[in-house]
Amino acid sequence: MRHRQRILLSPSGPGVGDAGGGVVWRCDWDEVAEIIAWKQDAFIYDVICFGFRTSDGPGYLLAHEEMDGWDELTAALKYQYGIRPEDWFDRVAFPAFRENRTVLWARTDASQRRREATSIVNV
């Protein structure tokens, strides 16, 4: 049986939890230095992902559209950062089977560090 991860949202920030009620990762909204979107190739289809880079590291914390809570997360990103799906979805979704990595939001001091950030934290 596969344990399904879910997106967690609180007034202080996003996170991902496991089916057993544990927290896989969590961060505060004000810790986020950059948010990116991209697609992962799942062989027959693509999965849209968000990566959250916090101010304390070069890696990205992963959330994706197959997790419960995805719609709520996209609404929270609009509220917290002004990130609207209509502004990024087509750039990320098309063409199919390409990563189409797109920066959705970055703190102004994060843009220099972005060049160094290449790893994705897959948990």
Q: How would residue 118 be classed by pLDDT, with cut points 50, 70 and 90? A: very low
Contact 53, 37 (CB under 8 A): no
CA–CA dist 93, 88 (Å, integer): 9
Mean pLDDT confidence for 92-99: 94
- Res. 73: pLDDT tops 90: yes
pTM for this predicted structure: 0.84
- 122 bridge partner residues: none
- Res. 1: pLDDT tops 50: no
Q: How would residue 58 be classed by pLDDT, with cut points 50, 70 and 90? A: confident
